[in-house]
């Protein structure tokens, strides 16, 4: 998970008068944790409104404690860019022709490019449905199906037998020129097959995700029934023989803006005035599970992050008041 740090720095306090400080109270720590991990902040995902609320809260605590701003332009905040996956680049499109009828997909709703190799030109090909798109000793969804020079349509992995990356590689090795993952939700750009998740490098292969509604519209199949059959290794009759796709994919890095909160408590030793002790914790979390989620709860999609790391942030806030 990409995180940022909420911190304050204390220029050394050697020589400062030693005044008694009030003890850190458990109820004060609890109050910070309860607010920071509340549903109102929606998991404090990096760059989100919830993260903004959390950093405003920290700023207020620092101000009330009498600390000085250490961020940009005399503020408590320091903004920074964070790359988070990919998003469609301008000019991306997908069209599927069935006979004389052309279905134009809407970027971001009907389809999302998830890998474009290095291709700058549109790719065209016939569509072939291969269910789960698994080819192994136990089962082979490609058996008896010619995909050479074609575009395969598969269901994305749900953690059963193969990752989406493996499915894309299999399609590529079978001679397909592209792969469409069918039925992925909005935000399918999380199927990022670039970087460390890259499929085999090729200028002649693309990957994209299409919605379940668009899948039904162009295939003539009911999505849920086709998915149920595919899970047990049965590939339903696929797209009409005359179905073809024309697609131009383009992806670009998606950038979020995170925000640090920096406050300074100056010391009074002139010799050590330019040295700092930094005490910090990350204030963001994973929001609705956009990244880094280890478990999913169908009844609650907010990852509140009390332990990771509202508790650490609460400690920093109370230490700021203590010092």
Q: What's the confidence (pLDDT) of residue 187?
A: 41
Q: How far apart are CA 89 and CA 95, in angstroms?
A: 16
The sign of the dihedral angle between the CA atoms of 126, 128, 133, 137 is negative
Specify the pLDDT at position 120.
55
Domain-wise residue ranges, the chain: 6-76+256-322, 90-249
**CATH among 3.50.30.30, 3.30.1490.100, 3.50.50.60, 3.40.50.620 for 90-249:** 3.50.30.30
**What is the structure's pLDDT at 62?**
95
DSSP state of 23: P
pLDDT at 160: 45
CA atoms within 13 A on the CB side of 115: 28
| Residues 158/184, Cβ–Cβ less than 8 Å | no
Task: State residue 70's pLDDT score.
Answer: 93
Element (H, E) at 213: helix 212-219
Contact 47, 258 (CB under 8 A): yes
Rounded to 5°, the CA angle 288-313-56 comes to: 75
Q: What is the mean pLDDT of each run of 10 residues along the chain (323 residues)?
A: 46 51 88 96 93 96 94 95 77 85 86 63 82 87 90 76 76 91 58 48 74 86 81 64 76 84 90 88 86 53 91 94 88
């Amino acid at each position: 998970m990409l995180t940022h740090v909420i911190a304050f720095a204390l220029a050394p306090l050697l020589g400062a008068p030693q005044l008694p400080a009030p003890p850190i109270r458990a109820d004060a720590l609890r109050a910070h944790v309860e607010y920071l991990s509340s549903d109102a902040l929606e998991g404090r995902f990096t760059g989100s409104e919830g993260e903004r609320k959390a950093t405003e809260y920290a700023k207020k605590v620092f101000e009330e404690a009498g600390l000085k701003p250490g961020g940009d332009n005399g503020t408590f905040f320091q903004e920074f860019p964070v790359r988070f996956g990919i998003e469609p680049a301008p000019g991306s499109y997908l069209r599927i022709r069935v006979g004389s009828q052309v279905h134009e997909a809407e970027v971001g709703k009907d389809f999302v490019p998830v890998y474009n190799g290095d291709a700058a030109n549109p790719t065209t090909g016939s569509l072939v449905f291969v269910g789960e798109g698994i080819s192994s000793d136990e089962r082979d969804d490609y058996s008896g199906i010619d995909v050479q020079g074609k575009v395969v349509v598969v269901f994305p992995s749900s953690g059963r037998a193969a990752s989406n990356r493996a499915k894309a590689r299999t399609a590529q090795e079978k001679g397909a020129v592209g792969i469409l993952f069918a039925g992925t939700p909005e935000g399918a750009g999380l199927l990022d097959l670039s970087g460390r998740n890259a499929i085999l490098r090729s200028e002649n292969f693309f990957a994209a995700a299409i919605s379940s509604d668009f899948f039904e519209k162009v295939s003539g199949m009911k999505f849920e029934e086709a998915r149920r059959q595919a899970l047990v290794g049965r590939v339903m009759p696929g797209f009409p023989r005359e179905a073809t796709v024309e697609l131009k994919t383009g992806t670009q890095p998606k950038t979020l803006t995170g925000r640090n909160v920096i406050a300074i408590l100056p010391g009074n030793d002139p010799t050590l005035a330019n040295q700092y002790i930094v005490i910090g914790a990350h204030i963001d979390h994973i929001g609705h599970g956009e990244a880094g989620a280890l478990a999913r709860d169908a009844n609650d999609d907010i990852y509140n992050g009390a332990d990771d790391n509202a508790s650490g942030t609460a400690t920093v806030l109370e230490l700021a008041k203590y010092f």
